[in-house]
A and B are shown apart, each in its own frame.
Chain A
Amino acid sequence: MFVPPPILTSTAEVVAVVVLLATFGMLRAPLMTSQINLYRLQSLAVTALVVVVGATHGLVGIYILAVASFVLKVIVVPAVILSLLGEADSNIAHSNVLKVPSMVLVALVVSLFGFITIDALHLRSATLPAPALGIAVAATLVAFVIIVFRSDVISQAMGFFSLENAVSMASLTVATAVPLVMELAFLFDLLVAVVAFGMLMRVHHRRSGTLSTDPLDRLRG
């Protein structure tokens, strides 16, 4: 029989679902700027979740993490990507292999796989509402689908960043017990990765003149 949850837990659940929905949205977004905005939404949701975890468990240090995560993911990363988009002309995200509805169906099947795996292992989380770990794993898998099926560098990079978002959401399950240094180290790593991705995207754009990854087929065998 159904048991209604307290309102704070359901808010946290809704926010977690927003992360997953934003990932699906990035999969189907036709324009790169809308992908970036969806990434902003996703990062905002993850930051909100961090704040909720801090509020319900009384961890003060976690607010530093929330601020750092907000600054990095909502402001810096989109700025880096948008500056690259400013150099390039096109704004249309490419996808060669499948059209949007099929990609979304594949992503749905994949996320169901993630849900079922987590459920079968009876993993419980102390800090987040129960579906959150399953949602995080599902969002990771959908980010994989983005990277695999999209064929331009911006979409693939955004897919990677949303992968990092989803895994950091999963890491909130251990947030209460592991020193915040670890979370901050992850953020620092993400920053370094952003810099490297940005540089390599520029290199690719200068070399091939396009943001699409179609020219990348010289190395075979």
Chain B
Amino acid sequence: MPDEASPLFILAPLLAFACYLVVPLLIPVLTSFPLPLGYMGDILGGGIILSTAGFLVALAGTETGSPYAQLGSSRAMTFGALIEPTVLFVVFVVGLITSTDLPYAMSQAVHSSLGEVLAPAHVLAAIAFFMVVLADTGRIPIETHSGTLEFGMIDEARVLEHSGPAYAFLTWGSSIKQFILYTILIDVFVAPWGLSSSRELGSVLSAIPALLAKAMGLGVIFALIDNSFSKLRLFKIPEFIVAAFVLAVLAVVIFYLGGAS
């Protein structure tokens, strides 16, 4: 641990990891019924916890005074703030469709009818959330996940100063975060089939391969995007974000108009 850093330098990766472990309690991962602690937070609560984790990691990046890490932290915070309205509007869509903001209820609603999946509000919200996932997990076209060029890094640069076990927690945590976001996208928006609806161990265990298969399918899509597009220049990233925002707002408005008839 560097001399000038505070204990937060070591604590932040641990705290972030802890946050990432809490969020799966709130979202439908393997089951279509809420887990015992599932009511302690709704989708907004999940969002808060994820943002807290990101905030802590960004703080840790500023601890040592290295320019590259601070660059990453400030960029991550800025673009994170720009993404927030989009996330909020996606949450609004969930809320409008189910009159609650529990991700479980949304998943149930999608599960119950196929026509629902094709409703334009739902499709737009799903696409908007997909773009948010691209941005939050640091993939093309926002950032090169496996690149080493510091000037283009946003999320990757925050962790440049850590090493050893702390770095392991950070990397593992970011993989968990990616998996969480994939799960939300799959289980809440796009394909909530295969979730177990009973508490028997057998059906829950059989939900695991279903989830893994779906996540791998999604991973293939992300890999395709990774290889087909190039990274956007930094000042064009707001264009990407505003496109996601437009989709999210339109999802709300169109649902409101269509559902109101």
Contact = CB atoms under 8 A, between A and B. Distances in A.
Interface of A: 1-7, 10-11, 13-14, 16-17, 20-21, 24, 28, 100-101, 104-105, 108, 111-112, 115, 118-119, 124, 129-131, 134-135
B150 interface: no
Interface string B41-74: 0000000000000000000000000000000000
Contacts of A135: 254
B239 A17 contact: no
A5 B119 contact: yes
A14 B123 contact: yes
Given A119-B257, A131-B258, A4 B116 contact: yes
A28 B249 CA distance: 17
Contacts of A105: 242
B261 interface: yes
Classify the secondary structure of B's interface with A. helix
A6 B116 CA distance: 8
A168 B72 CA distance: 49
A108 B257 CA distance: 16
Contacts of B164: none
B166 interface: no
Interface of B: 96-99, 109, 112-116, 118-120, 123-124, 238-239, 241-243, 245-247, 249-250, 253-254, 256-261
A3 B119 CA distance: 11
B257 A115 contact: yes
Contact of B246 (A7, A13, A104): A104
Contact of B254 (A4, A28, A131): A131
B115 A5 contact: yes
A4 B120 CA distance: 11
Contacts of B254: 13, 17, 131, 135
A211 to B, nearest CB: 22
Nearest to A7: B115
Contacts of A20: 250
B253 A112 contact: yes
Nearest to A15: B120
Contacts, number: 82
A7 B109 CA distance: 15
B119 A28 contact: no
26 contacts: A1-B99, A2-B97, A2-B98, A2-B99, A3-B259, A4-B112, A4-B113, A4-B119, A6-B115, A10-B119, A14-B120, A17-B120, A17-B254, A21-B250, A28-B243, A104-B243, A108-B245, A112-B249, A112-B253, A115-B257, A129-B258, A130-B258, A130-B260, A130-B261, A134-B257, A135-B254
Given A7-B114, A101-B239, A131-B258, A17 B249 contact: no
Among all A-B residue pairs, the 6 with the closest Cβ atoms: A130-B261, A131-B257, A101-B242, A131-B258, A17-B120, A4-B116
B242 A104 contact: yes
Contacts of B253: 112, 115
B257 A2 contact: no
A1 B259 CA distance: 9
A22 to B, nearest CB: 12
Contacts of A4: 112-113, 115-116, 119
Contact of A108 (B98, B114, B115, B249): B249
Contacts of B116: 2, 4
A130 B118 CA distance: 16
Given A1-B99, A130-B261, A135-B254, A24 B246 contact: yes
Nearest to A125: B261
A10 B259 contact: no
Given A130-B261, A131-B254, A13 B242 contact: no
Contacts of B118: 7, 10-11, 14
Contacts of B258: 5, 13, 129-131
A108 B242 CA distance: 10
